[in-house]
Amino acid sequence: MKAKTRAWLASLLLVGVVIACAAKRVAVEGIVGEWEKQDNSLPPIHLVLSKDGIQIRARLRLSGVDLSGTAQLDGDQLRLNFSGRNEIKARFTSATTLLLAMGDREYLLSKRP
């Protein structure tokens, strides 16, 4: 193989690796809906995300307490903000699963059909 061809293949491989490692972008339309923790362990968690113009509204029911606030989506990262509470961070692991981090615990939520 000629050096020029090897260099071209190496650069193509590098571009492929960069694309594969880049943060996944999730569309707002894809996250709108209801998300629930599927296992029966405590606490029960139910999250509703809705679009209100350019803003994402969030309603979280956690252990019988209802919180209303907003959410910001950045790539596959989601930040939930509720008045008087610490920010809650989450990450979409697929189109139907969301890993929610609260304190030192993580909870896997699934999107309801």
For the chain, list the domains and their CATH numbers.
25-111 (2.40.128.20)
Q: Name the pTM for this structure.
A: 0.76
Q: What is the pLDDT of residues 65-106, one digit of tens each?
A: 999 999 999 999 999 999 999 999 999 999 999 999 998 999
Q: How confident is the model at residue 1 (pLDDT cuts 50, 70, 90)?
A: low
For the stretch 46-55, pLDDT in tens is 999 999 999 9
Residue with tokens 């350019």: 54
- For the chain, the residue count is 113
Say if CB 99 and CB 21 are below 8 A apart: no
